[in-house]
Chain A
Amino acid sequence: MKFLFDSDTWQEIYGSIRKNKVRTGITIIGVLWGIFLLVVLLGAARGLENSFNKAFGNFATNSVFVWTQSTDTPFKGFQKGRRFRLNMKDIQVLKSEYADQIKLLAPRNQTMNLIIKDFKSGSFKVSGDFPVLDQIQKKKLIYGRFLNQNDINSSAKVTVISEDIYKQLFEKDKMPIGESIKINNINYKVIGVYEPSNTIDFDGDTAYIPFSTFKKVYNTANNIDWMMITANEGIDIEQMESDVLLTLKNLHKVHPEDERAFGSVNLGKEIAKFTGFLTGMQFLTWFVGIATLIAGVFAIGNILLITVKERTKEIGIRRALGATPKSIRQQIILESVFLTTVAGMIGIILGATVLKIIDTLFGQGVDATLVNPTVNIPIILTAFTTLVILGTLIGLIPAHMATIVKPIEALREE
């Protein structure tokens, strides 16, 4: 190992590299490209994964949403095309029948209304909700708090509004908490302002009011528009979805095979699809990256082999002057390792730079397509070590070729 720290060794390598600028350039580009691709692809894949995680981040991923449409099959004396509504009784039944499966259940009612504050106004979604919503779809509050059970019990005229609603209706820097706004001509006290979610959001800019208040004000009786259900840990969410739908069909006298009566979205299923896609992409990335790397390393080996052939005579001269096969081998291998290392490092640096640029171009803001595209240091180190090891191994071939010929044969070469 001493020869590694010998300035002469490096002098020799420097000499031979400087002499062969073109092949050195080609070699470096080969490996550089491989590691560069690997870094950028892995980074981009990670960025996509991050943005995906961010999008679904605040959402319980094992959720099912259920709403009603209209029947497509006549059943029990009902015509097809019948419209019907979910109601609180359904909620009770589901809660008791699936007590061990359902974790959270949020019945919801929603409408659009004009909201007025002093002389400003705008049309926004108004949603009657239970506090449990905050657990399914986390709200980040800038001011105040979300709805609580007291608000429900007392059917309080209180509301939690989005930051956008606040900005549109309030004077700048005006503290919103405790202020009253008019929704559908009824006064509500603002108790909270939440940040727009930068993730998937089914509500948008909504003014949340207690479910009980909504029921009274809009006369919805026991009806509800739709519900969100999240499952307990370890529950097969797809099974639960179809079980719940069957129960609901039974409750509403809908044909068990009716495909249209209920609409439902299983978030877990959608996510699984996407996760599969991500895994596939990661696999592809690795595949492409590693294939390119190997190609790069082979390019190095090939070029070294050519160089060794070109330099057969030089090697013969060196051997006549007393170069041992070991010293010849060391020099060729070290040259290979040195080239791969330098190329690898430049590749990593360029890759990181490109990721940085991608980050500034696409990674910023609420709806960024690639969030924080980075690569793991261990992954890069692994790739790098592999590269250097492969570089060494591939350097062994030309090194061996250089030393098996008799020195006189090497010298005779023109």
Chain B
Amino acid sequence: MIRIEKLHKSYPIGKDSLHVLKGIDLHIKEGEFVSIMGSSGSGKSTLLNIVGLLDIHDEGDYYLNGQLIKDLNEKKAAILRNKFLGFVFQSFNLISYKTALENVALPLYYKGMNRKERLKVAMDYLDKVGLKDWASHLPSELSGGQKQRVAIARALVTNPKVVLADEPTGALDTTTTDSVMDLLKDINDEGMTVFVITHEEEVAEQTKRIVRLRDGVIISDTLTKAAKAL
């Protein structure tokens, strides 16, 4: 599903440049549930953003669903994001003046689905994350956990190949963290590839594979107990 070879990424800082990713090799197969761990500044988000086509790498190869990602224009990137990827952010990133339902339906709008159908599908996904009754609420009327579940529903609504989550539980307490993780596990059980960044060992333990980064290189890549238990 995701194949990364000798990936490098630097950020220009003034005249110098900051070498963030220093030759990453990573292969994630369809249906995997992978977490990335590492200290702050180790390049986790950078990696995820490149995988999510939100940022561009400098060197190396990146294949998404078998397709080499190179010299992609914004239009093609947008279409690929819409088709293959679902995002969950630490800060939820819901659109504040749209209801939960409308937020979930938005990716389908860019897919070109008509409104009626869109709202129906979105409602199904809201139901899936247990928030059917909150459909007409604005994000400001939802708790953090609820917001993140709305965001997950939004990430899933286009039925993507991969869900990318950058610290999805970073802003949540333990109980809500568990409910969000349960949700991600469910999705993964249904066969979706899930790729999360986290700082919390307990969260990482619930995934099936942990990739550890330090200073832009992978220092370990292990299966978790949860995976071995299967």
The answer to whether A and B belong to the same complex is yes
Measured CB to CB, the closest approach of chain B to A355, in angstroms, equals: 39
- Known contacts A7-B115, A8-B115, A408-B49; is A322 also within 8 Å of B158 by CB? yes
User: Are B115 and A11 in contact, CB atoms less than 8 angstroms apart?
Assistant: yes
Measured CB to CB, the closest approach of chain B to A316, in angstroms, equals: 8
Interface size counted on chain A using CB atoms at 8 A: 26
Question: Is B95 close to A, CB under 8 A?
Answer: yes
Q: How far is the CA of A113 from the CA of B97 in the complex (A)?
A: 85
Question: Is B33 close to A, CB under 8 A?
Answer: no
User: Are A323 and B115 in contact, CB atoms less than 8 angstroms apart?
Assistant: no
Partner of A321, one of B55, B74, B154: B154
Measured CB to CB, the closest approach of chain B to A342, in angstroms, equals: 20
Question: Per-residue 0/1 for A296-333: is the Cβ within 8 Å of any B Cβ (1 yes, 0 no)?
Answer: 00000000000000000110011111111111000000
Partner of B97, one of A19, A313, A327, A406: A19
Q: How far is the CA of A407 from the CA of B55 in the complex (A)?
A: 7
Question: Is B82 close to A, CB under 8 A?
Answer: yes
Which B residues lie within 8 Å of A323 (CB)?
A: 78, 110
User: Are B78 and A406 in contact, CB atoms less than 8 angstroms apart?
Assistant: no
Measured CB to CB, the closest approach of chain B to A318, in angstroms, equals: 7
Tally of contacts, chain A with chain B, CB under 8 A: 68
Question: Is B226 close to A, CB under 8 A?
Answer: no
User: Are B115 and A320 in contact, CB atoms less than 8 angstroms apart?
Assistant: no
Question: Is A83 close to B, CB under 8 A?
Answer: no
Question: Which chain B residues in 20-75 approach chain A with CB under 8 Å?
Answer: 49, 52, 54-56, 74-75
User: Are A319 and B78 in contact, CB atoms less than 8 angstroms apart?
Assistant: yes
Partner of A324, one of B52, B75, B95: B75
User: Are A322 and B115 in contact, CB atoms less than 8 angstroms apart?
Assistant: no
Question: Is A403 close to B, CB under 8 A?
Answer: yes
User: Are A321 and B81 in contact, CB atoms less than 8 angstroms apart?
Assistant: yes
User: Are B54 and A406 in contact, CB atoms less than 8 angstroms apart?
Assistant: yes
Chain A interface main SS type: helix
Question: Per-residue 0/1 for B184-197: is the Cβ within 8 Å of any A Cβ (1 yes, 0 no)?
Answer: 00000000000000
Q: How far is the CA of A405 from the CA of B54 in the complex (A)?
A: 11
Question: Is B106 close to A, CB under 8 A?
Answer: yes
Which B residues lie within 8 Å of A8 (CB)?
A: 109, 114-115
18 contacts between A and B (CB under 8 A): A8-B109, A8-B114, A8-B115, A19-B96, A317-B93, A320-B87, A321-B106, A321-B110, A321-B154, A322-B78, A322-B107, A322-B158, A324-B74, A327-B110, A406-B55, A408-B49, A408-B54, A411-B89
**Which B residues have a C-beta under 8 Å from some C-beta of A?**
49, 52, 54-56, 74-75, 77-79, 81-83, 87, 89, 93, 95-98, 102, 106-107, 109-111, 114-115, 154, 158
**Which A residues have a C-beta under 8 Å from some C-beta of B?**
7-8, 11-12, 15-16, 18-19, 313-314, 317-327, 403, 406-408, 411
Given contact pairs A16-B97, A318-B110, A320-B81, a sample of 15 additional A-B residue pairs in the complex whose CB atoms are under 8 Å apart: A11-B115, A12-B109, A314-B95, A321-B81, A321-B107, A322-B82, A322-B158, A323-B78, A323-B110, A327-B110, A407-B77, A408-B54, A408-B55, A411-B89, A411-B93
